[in-house]
Structure 1
Amino acid sequence: MSDKNRSQWDLGRFIETLTYFEVIPLLNWVQQLIQGRPKDNQNIPIGGRKVSVVLVAGATGGVGKRVVRRLLEQGYKVRSLVRNIEKARSILGDDVDLVVADITKPETLTPVVFADIQAVICCTAVRVQPVEGDTADRSKYYQGIKFYQPEIVGDTPENVEYQGVKNLVEAAARYLPKADEKLIFDFTHPSTELKSVWGAIDDVVMGGVSASNIQLLEDTALFAGNVSTANSGGFASIRTKNFDPPFNLSSYAGVELRLKGDGQRYKLFLRTDAAWDGVGYSYSFDTVANTWIDVRVPFADLIPVFRAKTVKDAPSIDSSQIRSFQLMLSKFEYDNALNPKFSAGDFTLEVKSIKAYGGEPLPQFVLVSSAGVTRPGRPGINLDEEPPAVKLNDQLGGILTWKLKGEDSLRESGIPYTIIRPCALTEESGNKELIFEQGDNIRGKISREDVAKLCVQALKLAKASNITFEVKEGENNINSIDWQRLFSHLQPDK
């Protein structure tokens, strides 16, 4: 083709594309000089970032506020269920979403409370304090071991530990997603983060003139544009910047897209290599014009491809290292074969979500209960050897009895759960070795810091699903914990 017959190539858009995806460091450096240098890698998307929300009940309590802090530190989006916004804000800060509700009043547990939740951590408890005349520095709630006569303040154990927990469990069961799925991109809730991650890569990078973009609408992402075969081109695409760290989807079978197309055949690419022009793992799928469909892409069916040519000796995709996602409309299928459903010109593809599917169910409801809940009235129990809560269960309104009934409501719900029964809680700094047991026989103490750490960790482990266990701290300080090993010794509830 002679120069006069070629369509006008857009050099500016070519440079813009390379700059956006940071392909040429010099271009990116010049842009930073003009626009200002970003703060500490703020433009690098994080593959481990959580899209959905973790709801924390009892968020202003001793364990709850620590759970909130740890969730935020690990990149979770957090919503705290509170009764007093001003008090909660002063305790939890400005980085957490607050909703006003009361678990003892089911009418307050509205859809707004549970919107987009992926899990619930329940740290609620009745208020127990020393009887009048005792002082805070003498209370077991500061020392963990010393004990002075307690009393219930406020609502009853039946209402909080049983009925309230039951209300929360029943409401959460209506809104929690399938336990074997992980939401990766939720385009039904547009965000600045989503907008900064996705960008267009069209055949302008190879001399073509196709043009596309991604628009975040009210409840969907619109990938649209015009594909031209001029200048030997013929593809348009949108792609994410590289994620660092990458997504680890190794416990899932594949990814699922909720989308509406125009009847053409599109491709999904996943990449494990941070290189701009490396091997991508591709899957072609057909759309139905103006119809929402779910497209499942098994990792096992992905084809290793380099510039539309299959790579015969490439390994299977390493789904623990997913660094980027790309959607493409191309005139080519693979190895010079043409896309049988391709049509040059305008195109549209709407996407609502991308999620991983087929994973091992992770816990979706973590309940902080108490050691000793099965001991009141148990034959053979020597009350002289038991903690105060067991000795005074009746005087404290049956606090442990109602906690056990609250546990039962969760076990019977069908929600994948973890029930943690800590021994006496302390205000110590934690970082102790942890001792897990089952059967409700151990005695000891544990810091609230370590309980909070355990609550957050349970959300990540399939081994933690559908188990109930007691925990206390050991003697030794430790720097790290082998969580898989700790949980591997526990038996699922019958």
Structure 2
Amino acid sequence: MSRLRAIWQASLNATKRALTWNIEDLMPPSERYVFNFNSKEELKRWHLYSDSEYGGLSSASLEIKDAGAGLCGMLSAVGIFSGNLSSEVTEGSRWRINRSGFCGMRSKKFDGFIDLDSYDTLALRLKGDGRCYISTIYTENWVNSPGQQEDNSWQAFVFVPKDNWYIAKIPLDRYLPTWRGNVIDVKMEMNPSRIVGMSLSVNAGGGIPGAKSGTGDFRLEIDWIKALRTQ
């Protein structure tokens, strides 16, 4: 009987170990790359837009450039989003735009969506020009009504100090629901499990007090964009 009891106890202990869930093992990593501007392949994941599509005269470019030796002496690369903001409008344009002076870079739609429900913060490693940029997260549209095909958009300002690398950390709950660039007064919560894209943009006007504004050249260097779990 003692031998049978020992076998039974050993089996019971093995079953308990198998059923014991290690929470740390089940949790995803504390950070997750969303975009990494370390090769020219990254350019295929983005497209540019500006007021030039509507008769404006602003222009933008996105390129990948070597950034010299990084950690461990390995060569690294960064993305450079740059261009010129203009408040002028093409003479005789058929478009009736209320404002000009904006440019942006938007990721192409993900293959499906990415799930960032386990994270609470978006982090961006940037080197800027003292301007205020806009970080946008696009989520799957919860309301599939006829004629309403646009994704939900959520925006937050990103002030980037001039000439130094800076990691901007934006809690996801700081992103506000917007409609075509304007904050909308509705009670909505972002669904971080259904993210379909992201963008970075810059306007000649607006931003936060103390940030560079107005027309003229802009330049933003981007190393990576990550999701973080800080809590």
* Same fold, judged at TM 0.5 (above): yes
Going from structure 1 to structure 2, the CA distance change for 1:179 and 1:325 (only over 3 Å counts) comes to same
Residue 323 of structure 1: CA displacement? Answer: 0.7
Please tell me the residue identity of whatever aligns with 1:342: S
Q: Among 211, 215, 237, which residue is 2:63 paired with?
A: 215
Residue 316 of structure 1: CA displacement? Answer: 1.6
Residue 230 of structure 1: CA displacement? Answer: 1.1
Identify the residue that residue 290 of structure 1 maps to in structure 2: 163
Identify the residue that residue 351 of structure 1 maps to in structure 2: 222
Higher-helix-fraction structure: 1
Distance in 1 between residues matched to 2:151 and 2:209, nearest whole Å: 22
Q: Give the secondary structure class of the aligned counterpart of 1:317.
A: coil
Quick check: 2:120–2:228 contact (8 Å CA) kept in 1? yes
Going from structure 1 to structure 2, the CA distance change for 1:306 and 1:314 (only over 3 Å counts) comes to farther
Identify the residue that residue 230 of structure 1 maps to in structure 2: 88
Correspondence list, 1:69-468, <5 A:
179-187=29-37, 189-192=38-41, 194-218=42-66, 219-231=77-89, 232-273=99-140, 277-333=150-206, 341-358=212-229
Q: Give the secondary structure class of the aligned counterpart of 1:318.
A: coil
Structure 1 stretches of at least 4 aligned residues deviating more than 6 Å after TM superposition: none
Going from structure 1 to structure 2, the CA distance change for 1:339 and 1:202 (only over 3 Å counts) comes to farther
Residue 195 of structure 1: CA displacement? Answer: 1.6
Aligned residues: 179
Distance in 1 between residues matched to 2:40 and 2:53, nearest whole Å: 28
Quick check: 1:227–1:347 contact (8 Å CA) kept in 2? yes
Please tell me the residue identity of whatever aligns with 1:228: S
Please tell me the residue identity of whatever aligns with 2:170: V
Identify the residue that residue 482 of structure 1 maps to in structure 2: none
Which protein has greater RCO, CA pairs closer than 8 Å, 6+ apart? 2
Going from structure 1 to structure 2, the CA distance change for 1:350 and 1:227 (only over 3 Å counts) comes to same
Gaps spanning 5+ residues in structure 2: where? 1-27, 67-76, 90-98, 142-147
Quick check: 1:213–1:225 contact (8 Å CA) kept in 2? yes
Residue 305 of structure 1: CA displacement? Answer: 1.1
Residue 299 of structure 1: CA displacement? Answer: 0.5
Residue 254 of structure 1: CA displacement? Answer: 1.5
Q: Give the secondary structure class of the aligned counterpart of 1:201.
A: strand
Quick check: 2:139–2:151 contact (8 Å CA) kept in 1? no
Distance in 1 between residues matched to 2:138 and 2:36, nearest whole Å: 20
* 1:435-491 Cα distance to aligned partner (Å, 9 max, x none): xxxxxxxxxxxxxxxxxxxxxxxxxxxxxxxxxxxxxxxxxxxxxxxxxxxxxxxxx
* 1:402-422 Cα distance to aligned partner (Å, 9 max, x none): xxxxxxxxxxxxxxxxxxxxx
The two structures, once aligned, show a CA RMSD in angstroms of 2.5
Quick check: 1:270–1:325 contact (8 Å CA) kept in 2? yes
TM-score by length of 1: 0.34
Gaps spanning 5+ residues in structure 1: where? 1-177, 361-494
Residue 285 of structure 1: CA displacement? Answer: 1.6
Quick check: 2:63–2:81 contact (8 Å CA) kept in 1? yes
Going from structure 1 to structure 2, the CA distance change for 1:277 and 1:224 (only over 3 Å counts) comes to farther
Identity of aligned residues (%): 26
Which has the higher Rg, Structure 1 or Structure 2?
Answer: 1
Residue 343 of structure 1: CA displacement? Answer: 2.5
Higher-strand-fraction structure: 2
Q: Give the secondary structure class of the aligned counterpart of 2:129.
A: coil
Distance in 1 between residues matched to 2:126 and 2:188, nearest whole Å: 29
